[in-house]
Structure 1
Amino acid sequence: MSFYQNPKELSAFDAKFEAQKIAFGPVSFQVAHCLLKFEVLATIDKAGDQGATLAQLAQTNMLNEYALGVLLDMGLSMGLVWLNEDAYVLDKTGYFLLHDDMAAINLNFVQDVCYQGLFKLDKALLDGRPAGLSVFGDWQTIYPALKDLPQDAKESWFAFDHYYSDHAFPQILPLVFDHSPKHLVDIGGNTGKWALSCCEFDPEVEVTLMDFPGQLAVAKENAAKRGFTDRVRTFATDLLDESRPFIEGADTYWMSQFLDCFSKAQILSILQRTAKAMTANSQLFIVETFWDRQPSAASAYCVNATSLYFTAMANGNSRMYHSKDLMALLHQAGLYVDEDTDNLGLGHTLLRCKRKP
């Protein structure tokens, strides 16, 4: 990708400043979090072009002038606000931090799910396990723990997960249903967002979700609320347990933002068992956000940062993959890519796979 192939043209002075930003990165993050949490940026935004002075902000905020001062001084250095004489005015970066949905979703996810655990990233890298997950309890991976996470962490995790899928689904649904699925097996179906979208899109399709019991219990509730109980079934299983069977003979299998949750060896096992369950006429759709196929440096940055969530918090051995890595695993599993579509949703790729003859 062009934005990774050549080094940026930076002066030594600017590069040194970038290094200092990294050194104080956790401080900047928490300042941004507090400026949002205490609605300081929102208050400055409402004040418009004239801005708001420290005294004015202190009158409408639970923080005193000292607390506001240290936050806003750093906000100046971060480019979140600027000074118009003695009044603080929202700068462009502050505007997008306040108003951009993606920025809010990502920031809350890092704050509520990742921040404390990332302190143990070094241990996770050495041990190959999610050492940071211990901040929430004694779990091997985050997936069976989702229903038991603290409420803030749970809400931020699902908001992060659903935000990216929600932006992709409207574009992906017509592409999938152009191939007339009748029985779709949603492997790693989570709480049923895709299954319910399918039922709304096509009044005839039937969907079976395969996942942990905790996620499927929520999926059942969601299906009942939408009146799809007769068309949405569940199949509780541990997808990493190679002794557990996969549902056989469906015409369509589906994996959305799923394979990045596993190591290469685990992905190969899942793909091999899927291929074994498929018939010669079955199709497998895979949706992933490959870091090498992102449309911009900003999206690639977010995708690569998400890999470290997997390392420290989720399982210790998965990541957002390069597309060539998954292509090689598909080939090993006896599958091939029949259709390949990039730039869906927020940098998603849709692969339609078939079993090798």
Structure 2
Amino acid sequence: MSVTYGKDNKTALQAKYDAQKIAFAPIMFQAALSLRNLGILELIKKKRNGITIEDIASELDLSVYGVKVLLEAGLSMELVTVEDDIYKITKTGWYIQCDELTRVNMDFTQDVNYEGMFTLEDSIKEGKPTGLKVFGEWPTVYEGLAHLPEKVKESWFAFDHYYSDYAFPEIMPLVFKNNPKQILDVGGNTGKFSIQCAKYNEEVKVTILDLPGQLNVARKNIEENGFSDRVDGHPINLLDHSNPFPKGADIIWMSQFLDCFSQEDILQLLTRSYNALDENGRVYILETYWDDQEFEASTYSLHATSLYFTNIANGCSQMYHTEDMLKLVEKAGLEVEETVQNIGVSHTLLICKKK
């Protein structure tokens, strides 16, 4: 069945205006970030009756010139309005200043992606994350994650956790509806999901599969939460497909994990999951698919995030279309038993069993 995405019904004038927005987008992004970080939007927000450029400059100890050029850019971005020299914040300006999702996305763009994205063309040509070299010489971001500059690491984890933190409370009843005793958390990262499971169910045991560096971070978090007796780690290079997954788990859990790999690697990871399952086991895949979003803003964000994978993360993965994943599930010998949509911010859960 053929499906069409996108539309082209703008006037020529609107299309040209939108093209200029794209042409100057990097500059205007920095202006919006400066308006936020320098406290200008926050100050305007607090002044319900508005405020002048001179008063902003005085209160924030900035030059009138600096405030002026930023606010004039803010007018074109529709972050502020001005009437009789009095500036007020708009709804869009409020979201830039106050919305947690927008803040997380902007920090991720600035701290993790911005400098590296200058080499996006090279990443496309070479199939490598060429932008990652601004931080270090690793083949993928995952090997270097524990060694990234602190601010970069903070923004990376804030981005990663924001989406999962909203999803995990909703997902727990689905995970434990059949009372699993053993869960394999593949790519468990800092151990957030495993800790949530241990808190939710007093009997379950969870094993995290991840790189040794990430397991060290996870173990620290597990110990701090007092779950070392029920949550452990299994060090593994997940891209070494000759290395089998441990058997015996009731659930093999993959959350925001498979989007970190190429389709070829996803097929191998799902095949290794298949081989580790018994007939009653299930594979749970929690992902954000760009075609399965309620809001255009979500699809836009996911398409942008795909380019992070291209340029910074690994050079070969993306936020996938649902059909891409379903084809790989089938090739691995699995079938989708249940689909649960609209979890958290933008997630879909696929519960899979052996055919």
Q: TM-score, normalised by structure 1?
A: 0.97
| 3-state SS in 1 of match to 2:143 | coil
Q: 1:217 & 1:54 partners in 2: Cα distance? A: 50
Equivalent residue of 2:47, what SS? helix
Unaligned runs of 5+ in 2: none
**Deviation per residue, 1:267-324 (Å, 9 max, x gap):** 0111111111111111110000001101111111111110000000000000001111
The alignment status of 1:355 with 2:354, answered yes or no, reads yes
Give 1:347 deviation, angstroms.
Answer: 1.4
Cα shift at 1:10: 2.1
The amino acid of 2:176's aligned partner reads F
1:1-357 matched pairs, under 5 angstroms: 5=5, 7=7, 9-48=9-48, 50-356=49-355
User: How far, CA to CA, are the matches of 1:261 and 1:178 in structure 2?
Assistant: 28
Contact kept? 2:208, 2:234, Cα under 8 Å: yes
The one-letter amino acid of 1:135's match is: V
Q: CA RMSD in A?
A: 1.2
Q: Which amino acid aligns with 1:322?
A: H
Please say if residues 182 and 248 of structure 2, whose CA atoms lie closer than 8 Å, have aligned partners that are also in contact: no
Tell me, what secondary structure is at the counterpart of 1:60?
helix
Q: CA deviation at 1:259?
A: 0.2
Alpha-carbon separation, structure 2, partners of 1:144 and 1:229: 25
**Aligned counterparts of 2:312 and 2:283: Cα–Cα separation in 1:** 29
Whole-angstrom distance in 2 between the partners of 1:62 and 1:134? 37
Question: Shift of residue 243 of structure 1?
Answer: 2.5
By how many angstroms is 1:8 displaced?
Answer: 5.1
Check conservation: 1:38, 1:62, Cα contact below 8 A: no
Counterpart of 2:291 in 1: which secondary structure? Answer: helix
3-state SS of 1:241 partner: coil
Moved more, 208-217 or 240-249: 240-249
Q: Which runs of 5+ in 1 are unaligned?
A: none
Tell me the distance in 2 between the aligned counterparts of 1:336 and 1:226.
Answer: 36
- The separation in 2 between residues aligned to 1:136 and 1:230, in whole angstroms, is 36
Tell me how far apart the structure 2 counterparts of residues 186 and 25 of structure 1 sit (CA, whole Å).
Answer: 39
User: Which letter does structure 1 place at the counterpart of 2:32?
Assistant: A
Q: In 1, Cα distance between the equivalents of 2:309 and 2:61?
A: 36
Question: How many positions carry a matched residue from both structures?
Answer: 353
Paired amino acid for 1:54: I
Shift of 1:125: 0.5
Deviation at 1:164, TM superposition (A): 0.2
**Contact kept? 1:51, 1:84, Cα under 8 Å:** no
Q: Secondary structure at the match of 2:188?
A: coil
Counterpart residue identity of residue 175, structure 2? V
Whole-Å Cα distance in 2 between the matches of residues 173 and 319 of structure 1?
26
Separation in structure 1 between the aligned mates of residue 327 and residue 159 of structure 2, nearest angstrom: 28
Q: Deviations over 1:56-99 (max 9, x none)?
A: 01112142111111111100111000102111110111011111
SS in 1 for 2:245: coil
1:93-135 C-alpha deviation (Å, 9 max, x unpaired): 1011111110000000000000001110000000001000000
Q: Distance in 2 between matches of 1:98 and 1:38?
A: 11
SS of the residue 1:248 aligns to: coil
Shift of 1:183: 0.3
Deviation of 1:4 after TM superposition, in Å, equals 6.4
Greater Cα shift, 105-114 or 276-285: 276-285
Shift of 1:9: 3.6
CA offsets 1:194-231 (integer angstroms, 9 cap, x no match): 00111111111110000011111111111111111100
The TM-score with structure 2 as length reference comes to: 0.97
